[in-house]
Each structure stands twice: as C-alpha cells, then as structure tokens.
C-alpha cells in the first residue's frame, strides 16, 4: 500500500476497503456490499465503549478533544474545532469526549483540565496539547506541524 492509499472499514459489513487518498471526497462505496463509505463532516462523540473504534478504525488523522459543556475555553475553541471537522472531512476525524460523562477515559489519559487535545495517526498517539490555543489558527498549525513530523502532510 502506498502513502497515497487509505484503508477504510465499511460500517455495514466491516470489510476493509483500499482507496486512493484523492478519492476520499468522491462518495466512495464498499467494494463488497456497495454501502456508502461515509466519513464524518462534524465532530463525533466518543464514550468509553466507542473510543477505540472511533480512533483505531479511522485510517487518517484523528483529533480527540476532551472537553466539558460549561468550560469557557472549550466553548471559545469550539467553532474552530467544528470548522476543522468540516473543512478536513475525509482526512481529519474530530472526536469529542465529555470528561464529566466519561470519567474513565479522563482518568486513562490523565486529563487534568479542559480542553485537552490528542492527535492520532492510524490509531497511534502522536501528540498532546493541554489548553486552548490563543488563536483558532494555532490549532490547525499544531496539527499540521505534528503530522508533517510523523506522517503525510495535512491536506
């Protein structure tokens, strides 16, 4: 498999599909069952039982935000996080974890404050960012710089 190819698991039949990275936005379908290989265009919520699936079954970069609904910094950075999910759909999956509803995940990742961001690539943790960036563009810059060090360029 080349770096221009991604593996995407079908949610319907669980078949692993090999796709050219450039075709991710062309509404790909599963080669076996013909179901849509849809990807999220907005942040998805993860729980203790779905976290591994959300992160490990995604073939590209995944940004996990540990947050709370009442946190002022979380609410301030929320538009940037939502915008990233929409603009980078198919390449960056944004996952949100509410630390009050998921204390097990918060403990597992030693979350001391919100927001805390974890960046994964192919299920492997690359970096952690504690606190909200001062400017919205700083979050995207952090993601881009981290991915350039560890893998394919952020598109």
Angle at 39 between CA 69 and CA 41, to 5 degrees: 45
DSSP H or E run through 54: helix 51-56
Other CB atoms within a 10 A radius of the CB of residue 58 amount to 23
Six-digit token string for 72: 């002022």
The predicted structure's pLDDT at residue 99: 98
Domains annotated for the chain, with CATH where assigned, are 1-38 (2.30.30.380), 40-150 (3.40.30.10)
pLDDT values of the chain reduced to their tens digit, one per residue, 155 residues: 455 777 777 878 888 888 887 777 788 899 999 998 878 889 999 999 999 999 998 878 999 999 999 999 999 999 999 999 988 887 899 999 999 999 999 999 999 999 999 999 989 999 999 999 988 899 999 999 999 998 655 54
The predicted structure's pLDDT at residue 7: 74
Q: Please identify every residue annotated as catalytic.
A: 71, 74
What is residue 85's three-state secondary structure?
Answer: helix
The predicted structure's pLDDT at residue 12: 85
The predicted structure's pLDDT at residue 152: 56
The predicted structure's pLDDT at residue 1: 46
CA distance 123 to 5: 16
The predicted structure's pLDDT at residue 142: 96
Instruction: Judge if pTM exceeds 0.75.
Output: yes
């Amino acid at each position: 498999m080349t770096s221009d190819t991604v593996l995407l698991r079908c949610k319907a039949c669980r078949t692993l599909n090999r796709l050219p990275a450039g075709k991710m936005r062309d509404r790909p379908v599963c080669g076996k069952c013909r179901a849509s290989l849809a990807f999220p265009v907005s942040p998805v919520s993860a729980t203790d039982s779905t976290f591994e699936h959300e992160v490990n079954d995604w073939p590209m970069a995944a940004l996990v935000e540990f947050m709370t609904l009442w946190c002022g910094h979380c609410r301030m950075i929320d538009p940037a996080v939502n915008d990233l999910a929409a603009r980078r759909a198919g390449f960056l999956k944004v996952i949100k974890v509410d630390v009050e509803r998921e204390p097990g995940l918060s403990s597992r990742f030693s979350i001391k404050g919100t927001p805390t961001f974890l960046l994964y690539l192919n299920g492997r943790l690359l970096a952690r960012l504690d606190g909200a960036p001062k400017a919205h563009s700083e979050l995207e810059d952090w993601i881009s710089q981290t991915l350039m060090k560890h893998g394919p360029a952020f598109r």
